Amino acid sequence: DGGITQSPKYLFRKEGQNVTLSCEQNLNHDAMYWYRQDPGQGLRLIYYSQIVNDFQKGDIAEGYSVSREKKESFPLTVTSAQKNPTAFYLCASSPLLGELFFGEGSRLTVL
């Protein structure tokens, strides 16, 4: 079945540690995205990529990094520079023009 797989589903991190969230898609979509959702808030764009080896900052990129070495994969690293990393993270993909398809999300908690 085609879809987007995010892992891990739940992740705990100590302050000062970097963590990487995985996102893989087999929909053959060109574009991939990372969003953050906080309680009572809409989705906010962290980074997006429309082609392999290229990515752009979204609205809240500070403290995050990404890579797009393969079309299918778009991992997100939450660095120690992110001041408030506890949140629900959603990965999505789409054709260049077309609706977003989301993964099930990863919940990161900083202890």
- Kindly list the residues in this chain that would bind another protein in the complex (CB under 8 A): 4, 31, 33, 40-45, 48, 50, 56, 58, 90, 92, 94, 97-105
First-last CA distance in the chain? 36
Q: Which is nearer to another protein, 18 or 51 (CB)?
A: 51
Q: How far is the CB of 43 from another protein (least distance, A)?
A: 4
Q: How far is the CB of 105 from another protein (least distance, A)?
A: 6
DSSP state of 30: S
Q: How far is the CB of 79 from another protein (least distance, A)?
A: 22
Q: Which is nearer to another protein, 48 or 74 (CB)?
A: 48
Rounded CA-CA distance 108/81 in Å is 15
Q: Which is nearer to another protein, 33 or 64 (CB)?
A: 33
Which residues make beta-bridge pairs with 35?
45, 90
Q: How far is the CB of 102 from another protein (least distance, A)?
A: 3
| CA distances in angstroms from 77 to 1, 9, 26, 37, listed in the order given | 27, 15, 21, 16
Which residues make beta-bridge pairs with 79?
none
Q: Which is nearer to another protein, 15 or 53 (CB)?
A: 53
Rounded CA-CA distance 38/87 in Å is 6
